[in-house]
């Protein structure tokens, strides 16, 4: 479709001559995804449709306890320190953002009175300011009013380097000012095509100024509310056992009438994905289980005659293998390993990286392990579709890998292990404990053995691997091994935040308490330039081309090895009405969940 025709359709939506749903349906027929079509409307300043599911209960309460099972339990409940999905979801039980991402990629107002558009004056013509009008009458769980002062505080808190928050990238490069008690303005230094980051989704969840102000900066980890949250959400805090249990009770003063339906909520952590699937689908002990990283054959057996079902939903998550650019075995001053002051002894050799890329049998991982839950992919960035590169490819070829290593001077030495310059190709390959990942490790190890590379497989309990504890040496953010594997989630339909994990300023170090998102410690000036250019590119076609170029740099340099694109897969009771989103927390609208009698 020509750009003029596209603009004509968007104008019809603005004029009310074409429904938003009609526009999205037409774009889908042309091969685009629904989230992308929705994002096109959002970028054009069109107020988006309410993408939340229908809510049938006529009063709040009466639903008993909603029982959730996260086989990785949250370790803290401050959204500014939520290093992984488990902590983001645990925080989301109590905290809310101004707006959230629905499954179709639309923005839904939560603590905002409305979504900013050009028509309502929320978006400036020059793309440099966004004005949010806040919902009035909202109170924190302790009864204090929610106001613009809380938004300004969260901006200051998140951007302060001493806080060392995971949200620093969201708030660092913007300015926020209070317009009045219920209005805040977000200002950018240049035209910004994707403005829906600050105060939106997981990274936009808001904490109360009156409880955290005295713990800002260097004292941020000492705040009692890090473990006992006071939010605005549908449930009030009752109990938290890190890594084990989160409990809340219905907020009787919730700012949405007749919500929530459930009287209480319990998020149980621990165990493994298979036992979680069984507890929901087969026995019905729980209502919902997150992240069914379980072999599809097992899920299908559980569904036969069970009490629950598997839910698959679109998103941008990628299971990938990271290659360390730094030396994880050498300590520098201060005791830091995998420091930017070091280089990996052989993973900086392009020949070794290229060989490793050829030794990952993605298709077997898809066919024999994940099924519905994974699609073999050549790209790190897979969704929305217009950001997906067609230039890349993947191949499983042991013989080709051997030739690359031979040509690179890596000859077979003692024990059949390749070596060069006194260094042997021996690596430690770590990931979290669950069956699909251990089977994937085994597939990679077998191929590497044939090529003369020795892999020592290391499996870490998920609660340890994904822990937020800065003193824990086995977290994935420290990356104290040669290669590692896990899933990175794409939190929004726009890839800006997703792709900043390869920028120089996001490198994970001891100085930032390993909160940086660049875990591989890859440094590439060309990538940084492309990212900075995309930040200010308002033309959607040119901007998509920039992100494709970024993806291609990552793939060409084998910064990591994409294994499978993972749509969201959850388990739910047959009686539960829920709506997880692949672009936000599974609990983005837990206030709307209900159960059939």
> pLDDT tens digits, residue range 422-435?
999 999 999 999 88
Q: Is 412 exposed, middle or buried (0-12, 13-18, 19+ CB in 10 A)?
A: middle
**Nearby residues of 478 by Cβ (< 8 Å), 6 or more positions away:** 337, 338, 472, 508, 514
Residue 577 lies in a domain: no
**Nearby residues of 22 by Cβ (< 8 Å), 6 or more positions away:** none
What is the pLDDT at residue 47? 44
CATH number where 292 lies: 3.40.190.10
**Do residues 157 and 204 share a domain?**
yes
- Specify the 3-state DSSP secondary structure of 473: coil
Pairing outcome for strands 426-432 and 454-460: parallel
Residue 420 lies in a domain: yes
When mean pLDDT is compared across 277-286, 347-356, 537-546, the lowest value belongs to: 537-546
**pLDDT exceeds 70 at position 443:** yes
When mean pLDDT is compared across 1-10, 31-40, 336-345, 549-558, the lowest value belongs to: 31-40
**Complete DSSP assignment for 2-51:** -HHHHHHHHHHHHTTSS-HHHHHHHHHHTT--HHHHHHHHHHTTPPPP--
Helical H runs in 109-234?
A: 148-159, 168-171, 209-212
What is the pLDDT at residue 48? 43
| Domain count for the chain | 3
- Spell out where 422-559 has E strands: 423-424, 426-432, 454-460, 483-488
**Do residues 390 and 528 share a domain?**
yes
**Do residues 278 and 378 share a domain?**
no
Greater confidence (155 vs 10) lies with 155
Pairing outcome for strands 483-488 and 426-432: parallel
The residue whose two tokens read 């009156």 is 210
**Do residues 381 and 353 share a domain?**
yes
What is the pLDDT at residue 540? 84
Residue 234 lies in a domain: yes
Residue 49 lies in a domain: no
What confidence tier does 468 reach under pLDDT thresholds 50, 70, 90?
Answer: confident
- Provide mean pLDDT across the span 108-128: 93
**pLDDT exceeds 80 at position 19:** no
Task: Determine the structural domain holding residue 443 and report its residue range.
Answer: 315-568
- Which helix H or strand E contains 100, and what residues bound it? strand 99-101
What confidence tier does 497 reach under pLDDT thresholds 50, 70, 90?
Answer: confident
Residue 50 lies in a domain: no
What confidence tier does 50 reach under pLDDT thresholds 50, 70, 90?
Answer: very low
- Spell out where 442-573 has E strands: 454-460, 483-488, 560-573
Phi and psi at 454, nearest 5°, equal -100, 125
Residue 54 lies in a domain: no
Chain mean pLDDT for the chain: 91
**pLDDT exceeds 70 at position 42:** no
What is the pLDDT at residue 28? 55
- What tokens were used for 516? 């940086």
**Do residues 120 and 39 share a domain?**
no
> pLDDT tens digits, residue range 74-101?
999 999 999 788 999 999 999 999 999 9
**Do residues 265 and 364 share a domain?**
no
Greater confidence (306 vs 91) lies with 91
- In DSSP terms, 184 is beta-bridged to 132, 178
CA 343 – CA 330 distance, rounded (Å): 10
Greater confidence (456 vs 34) lies with 456
What is the pLDDT at residue 91? 97
Residue 398 lies in a domain: yes
Longest dimension (CA), the chain: 74
**pLDDT exceeds 90 at position 454:** yes
Q: Is 387 exposed, middle or buried (0-12, 13-18, 19+ CB in 10 A)?
A: buried
**Complete DSSP assignment for 406-424:** HHTT-EE-GGG-EEETTEE
Q: Is 340 exposed, middle or buried (0-12, 13-18, 19+ CB in 10 A)?
A: middle
**Do residues 297 and 411 share a domain?**
no
**Do residues 550 and 427 share a domain?**
yes
Greater confidence (436 vs 9) lies with 436
Pairing outcome for strands 308-323 and 560-573: antiparallel
Most confident of 75-89, 339-353, 364-378: 339-353
CA 244 – CA 70 distance, rounded (Å): 9
197-209-497 Cα angle (round to 5): 15
Residue 576 lies in a domain: no
Query: How many CA within 13 A on the CB side of residue 431?
Result: 24
CATH number where 529 lies: 3.10.105.10
Q: How far is CA 62 from the centre of its chain?
A: 33
What confidence tier does 49 reach under pLDDT thresholds 50, 70, 90?
Answer: very low
**Do residues 325 and 288 share a domain?**
no
**Do residues 390 and 426 share a domain?**
yes
- Which helix H or strand E contains 401, and what residues bound it? helix 398-407
> pLDDT tens digits, residue range 185-237?
999 998 988 899 999 999 999 999 999 999 999 999 999 999 999 999 999 99
**Do residues 445 and 559 share a domain?**
yes
- Provide mean pLDDT across the span 170-194: 95
State the pTM of this model. 0.71
Question: CA nearest 249: which of 55, 56, 63, 79?
Answer: 63
- Specify the 3-state DSSP secondary structure of 297: helix
**Do residues 403 and 549 share a domain?**
yes
The residue whose two tokens read 């050799």 is 349
- Specify the 3-state DSSP secondary structure of 226: helix
- Provide mean pLDDT across the span 440-460: 98
């Amino acid at each position: 479709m020509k750009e003029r025709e596209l603009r004509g359709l968007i104008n019809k939506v603005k004029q009310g001559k074409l429904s938003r749903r009609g526009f999205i349906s037409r774009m889908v027929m042309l091969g685009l995804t629904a989230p992308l079509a929705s994002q096109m409307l959002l970028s054009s300043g069109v107020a988006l449709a309410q993408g939340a599911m229908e809510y049938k209960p006529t009063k709040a309460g009466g639903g008993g306890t909603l029982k959730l099972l996260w086989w990785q339990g949250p370790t803290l409940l401050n959204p500014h320190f939520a290093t992984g999905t488990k902590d983001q979801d645990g925080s989301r039980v109590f905290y809310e953002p101004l707006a959230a991402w629905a499954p179709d990629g639309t923005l839904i107002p939560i603590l905002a009175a409305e979504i900013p558009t050009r028509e309502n004056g929320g978006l400036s013509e020059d793309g440099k300011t966004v004005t949010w009008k806040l919902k009035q009458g909202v109170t924190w769980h302790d009864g204090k009013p929610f106001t613009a002062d809380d938004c300004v505080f969260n901006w200051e808190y998140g951007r302060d380097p001493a806080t060392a928050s995971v949200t620093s990238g969201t708030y660092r490069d913007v300015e926020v000012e209070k317009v009045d008690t219920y209005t805040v303005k977000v200002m950018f230094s240049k035209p910004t095509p994707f403005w829906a980051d600050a105060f939106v989704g997981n990274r936009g969840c808001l904490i109360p100024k009156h409880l955290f102000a005295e713990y800002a900066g260097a004292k941020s980890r000492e705040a009692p509310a890090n473990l006992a949250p006071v939010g605005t959400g549908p449930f009030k805090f009752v109990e938290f056992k890190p890594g084990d249990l989160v409990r809340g009770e219905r907020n009787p003063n919730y700012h949405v009438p007749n919500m929530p339906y459930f009287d209480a909520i319990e998020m149980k952590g621990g165990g493994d994905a298979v036992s979680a699937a069984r507890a929901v689908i087969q026995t019905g002990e729980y209502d919902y289980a997150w992240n069914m990283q379980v072999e599809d054959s097992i899920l299908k057996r559980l569904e036969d005659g069970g009490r629950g079902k598997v839910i698959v939903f679109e998103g941008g998550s990628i299971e990938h293998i990271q290659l360390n650019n730094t030396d994880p075995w050498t300590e520098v001053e201060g005791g830091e390993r995998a420091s930017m002051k070091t280089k990996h002894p052989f993973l900086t050799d392009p020949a070794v990286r290229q060989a490793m890329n050829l030794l990952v049998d993605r298709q077997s991982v898809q066919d024999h392990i994940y099924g519905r839950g994974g699609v073999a992919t050549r790209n790190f960035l897979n969704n929305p579709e217009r950001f997906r590169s067609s230039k890349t490819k993947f191949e499983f070829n042991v013989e080709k890998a051997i030739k690359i290593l031979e040509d690179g001077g890596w000859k077979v030495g003692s024990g059949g292990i390749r070596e060069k310059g006194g260094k042997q190709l021996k690596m430690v390959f770590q990931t979290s404990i669950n069956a699909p990942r251990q089977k994937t490790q085994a597939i990679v190890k077998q191929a590497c053995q044939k090529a003369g590379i020795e892999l020592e497989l290391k499996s870490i309990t998920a609660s340890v691997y994904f822990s937020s504890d800065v003193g824990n040496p086995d977290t994935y953010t420290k990356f104290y091994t040669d290669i590692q594997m896990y899933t990175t989630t794409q939190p929004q339909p726009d890839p800006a935040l997703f792709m900043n994990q390869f920028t120089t300023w996001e490198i994970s170090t001891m100085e930032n308490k390993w909160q940086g998102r660049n875990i591989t410690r890859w440094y590439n000036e060309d990538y940084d330039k492309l990212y900075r250019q995309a930040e200010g590119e308002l033309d959607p076609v040119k901007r998509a081309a920039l992100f494709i170029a970024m993806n291609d740099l990552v793939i060409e340099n084998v910064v990591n090895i994409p294994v499978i694109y993972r749509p969201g897969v959850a388990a739910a009771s047959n009686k539960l009405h829920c709506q997880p989103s692949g672009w936000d927390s599974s609990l983005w609208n837990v206030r709307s969940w209900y159960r059939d009698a």
